[in-house]
Chain A
Amino acid sequence: MAAAPSSDTDSGRGESKEASSKWLDAHYDPMANIHTFSSCLALADLHGDGEYKLVVGDLGPSGQQSCLKVLQGPKVLTESPLPALPAAAATFLMDQHEPRTPALALASGPCVYVYKNLRPYFKFSLPHLPLNPLEQDLWNQAKEDRIDPLTLKEMLEGIREKAEVPLSVQSLRFLQLELSEMEAFVNQHKAKTLKRQTVITTMTTLKKNLADEDAVSCLVLGTENKELLVLDPEAFTVLAKMSLPSVPVFLEVSGQFDVEFRLAAACRNGNICILRRDSKGPKYCIELSAQPVGLVRVHKVLVVGSTQDSLHGFTHKGKKLWTVQMPAAILTMNLMEQRARGLQAVMAGLANGEVRIYRDKTLLDVIRTPDAVTSLCFGRYGREDNTLIATTRGGGLMIKILKRTAVFADGGGEVGPPPAQATKLNVPRKTRLYVDQTLREREAGIGPGPGPHLQAHTAPAEHLDSPPHPGAAGLLPVRGGALRPAPGLLQGPLVGARAQLPPGDLCGESQ
């Protein structure tokens, strides 16, 4: 009974056949052992030889052995271990010196490691956070043995209740200890200076003063301390500091730092904050009703993916433009920019193994992958423009190249009535036996037969006076529940007491 799918569904849909696909499969290695997120992928010409390489901050299969991998073509060129898990990777031009090769910045923990020509060049650490002066004071007293552990504990707890500035890790650890251990702890640690350090959660680049491709860029860091820092590329000083209501997870910038820029930060509390130059805090705040999964800026529209499996488009002032529902959870999002044709679209990797490409609300293409895609990157790779690089959940690496002849027409997605409309309803069939029984009932029904039988039980007035049927009353309050009586019994309890017809005359076929 399965209806053949109509031809319009095939033509518009994501192609599984090579011939009609817009993508060439360049490479697929399911055993590449690369586990990463979109923020840790970057494409750049690191050696200045015109051949773009892929930089991957690999987190390792269980988040243990993180390393920095550089790939050229399908092969891994270099692999170097990292001290901590990389939160983000970005390539940027640091200065105007020749040769103009981009440097690689890797954010991990509280530091940014800068590599030039794949050699470690510089390490920037986030400035320490200010300490609570009361806490500092207390520990100083402890150092000079002017205070006993119990009092120290009480005072520290008092600070924790009320203070704006949180305690340092040392104090927090101390507060957790048992009485017996406190003395030892204080003696061990009282000489140390208190520190409060935060980590980097996200990073992106912002052009400094020119909008060219090869202009110098600043680094923009988002920290766990709910702040955004803009770093100067040459001296690595903090040029600007902005604060947010919550910890930033994804960043999108546009503009130039010296002229005018806009920053959109998707935060952990489900909001998207939009900041402008010279504003200490967010100018606009978009409140989503779920967590943002990805943030991509396409021309002037901010496309946000949410954990409710939908894509939303917002203006830069925060007004919602459109919503598109996805068939599965969104895992990652990234920008697809085809410079030659001036096309900018959003790629979304879904949990059901699809990569969907949207331009505004219209679905341009669907790519089916053998495994769910966890990170996406599009750009120039090797000497080929328009390459899509994706890593999958199982650690595989996939490289696809967009065909030169491929044109994304609007309406390449799903059009027309849903395919379900073509499948016929599955109406249960009746047997010959049933039809015979109905005829029999018709003939036997009229006449003196059943009448007297019915009479004794069916006077309608009795419907009102007699107590409601126990079966019905007992179960009536349950509405729409999962009560599935066996078919055979269906007719029994409800009306068995009422119509005592000779059994053969009921429509006795089974469901």
Chain B
Amino acid sequence: MAEERTVMRTQLPTSAESQNPQLKKALEFPILEKQNWLIHLHYIHKDYEACKAVIKEQLRETQGLCEYALYVQALIFRLEGNIQDSLELFQTCAVLSPQCADNLKQVARSLFLLGKHKAATEVYNEAAKLNQKDWEICHNLGVCYIYLKQFNKARDQLHHALHLNRHDLTYIMLGKIHLLEGNLDKAIEIYKKAVEFSPENTELLTTLGLLYLQLGIYQKAFEYLGNALTYDPTNYKAILAAGSMMQTHGDFDVALTKYRIVACAVPESPPLWNNIGMCFFGKKKYVAAISCLKRANYLAPFDWKILYNLGLVHLTMQQYASAFHFLSAAINFQPKMAELYMLLAVALTNLEDTENAKRAYAEAVHLDKCNPLVNLNYAVLLYNQGQKREALAQYQEMEKKVNLLKDSSSLEFDSEMVEVAQKLGAALHVGEALVWTKPAKDSRSQHRTTSASKAACFQQPLGSNQALGQAMSSAAAYRKLPSERGEGREKEERNIDE
């Protein structure tokens, strides 16, 4: 190299101003930062092999003094998952240049990734002393506090970060805090501000849509999900949520076309196959429905919703024994749900096990708070068994619930349910005291119920619906009963993690 340098120099005519022509020859120590730009370029091109080669060369030449080379080496270690080595290298960098806040930030981040949140906060605070106005430090401090469960401090830090510089990530973290604290309204506010700031971020739009869905404000939910889909037509969460809303509307074909998109991208998703199965169920293609649900069950054997749907479809297919087994499996996972016991009772009735059927109904009635269908079916069974007095009692319970529902929300009752109730009322000589103001949907008279009733009660009437196993997509189907609030959140957790 030296020869080439001398050749170079002799070729140059003597020109003014070449400052210090002896520079190259005299400098025995190579410039430390000589190839930093090359290391950086390889790094951003994600060409880690070439990057590592250059780093090694530089470290050898400079005897380990090139700080940037160490820094990028540590970043690559972190990308490869080797956090401990990464931490050590960053600490070396921090020693080499103590005034640099970046190195401290990276040390803190490594500690955070290793799970040492308290230590990470301390290092971040030190870094903050060096550089006050760094949104990254505030943001990361906020995230550490979230992990330390100190939500107030976390909120403060994140708000501070937002003041310094608005970023989608910070909004998302703030939203998460509010969700963790159970404060849906504030979370929605934050997400709305975030969407104003960054209207094309599909993650924000989808999360906002899902939150509205959880609260039951379907119009807005659909709007936001639709927006998310215009920017990214293959967004998994948005498609699932939008598809499930379409299913509640009864648009099974449209929902199926949408699901096809996701089925290519994420073929092994239990909620997806669950929803597809229920679309087929709505179209009355029961065998296809069962296939899809079985696949969903294979992918997620502990998901009670899939088991519930399987039970339901088998009931519809008159395979009571199979229905029984799926429903009892679902009950194992979800022992406090009235509808499950009700369906179980239906299966048992059809299997001619009236004793156990009655016990199942009793349990269902005991657990249920607002679904009149449970009482109705129980009443039908009791009446068929000749226990008119008990039947009457159940019928009256049902009336109470219906009245409650009529007043509180604009529901539509299943037409079959109305028909059966009226027949039963006539049989019990109760008279036409109960007025079913809403027109109905169909349900079968054999107290083989469909969870449209479930839909009637808990889901919102997005339009009239026929008998169909509710699309128990984990994206939608948020229960609104106070007792089931916790589980709603669990589903939502699952959603966000997915």
Contacts and interface: CB of A to CB of B under 8 A. Distances in A.
B321 A505 contact: yes
Contacts of B290: 430, 507
A442 B318 contact: yes
Contacts of A446: 320, 350-352
Interface string B339-378: 0010011001011110110011001000000000000000
B8 A476 contact: no
A377 B406 CA distance: 70
A202 B40 CA distance: 12
A441 interface: yes
Interface in A40-54: none
B462 to A, nearest CB: 23
Nearest to A223: B33
Contacts of B46: 307, 329, 351
A417 B257 CA distance: 10
A393 B232 CA distance: 30
Contact of A455 (B256, B331, B355): B355
Given A125-B19, A247-B36, A458-B356, A480 B260 contact: no
Interface in B262-320: 263-265, 267, 276, 280, 287-288, 290-292, 294-295, 297-302, 317-320
B388 interface: no
Contacts of B302: 472, 475-476, 479, 483
B17 interface: yes
Contacts of B98: 160-161
Interface in A262-313: 268-269, 287, 289, 291-293, 307
Contacts of B24: 83
A18 to B, nearest CB: 30
A480 B498 contact: yes
A62 B168 CA distance: 39
B34 A428 contact: no
Interface centre among B200, B301, B329 (most CB of A within 10 A): B301
A383 interface: no
A461 to B, nearest CB: 5
Contact of B26 (A84, A160, A192, A494): A192
B18 A125 contact: yes
A498 B263 CA distance: 35
Contacts of B498: 480
A110 B18 CA distance: 12
B481 interface: no
Contacts of B1: 83
Given A120-B11, A125-B18, A425 B276 contact: yes
A506 B321 contact: yes
A326 interface: no
Interface in A68-107: 81, 83-85, 87
Interface in A302-344: 307, 320, 322-323, 325, 329, 331-332
Contact of A490 (B40, B258, B301): B301
Interface string B97-128: 11100100000000000000000000000000
A494 B301 CA distance: 9
A198 interface: yes
A382 interface: no
Contact of B45 (A128, A331, A459): A331
Interface centre among B320, B352, B498 (most CB of A within 10 A): B352
A4 interface: no
B53 interface: yes
Complex A-B, nearest 7 residue pairs according to Cβ-Cβ distance, in ascending order: A420-B264, A201-B37, A169-B29, A460-B360, A224-B33, A428-B291, A420-B261
5 contacts: A427-B288, A463-B328, A484-B299, A499-B325, A499-B328
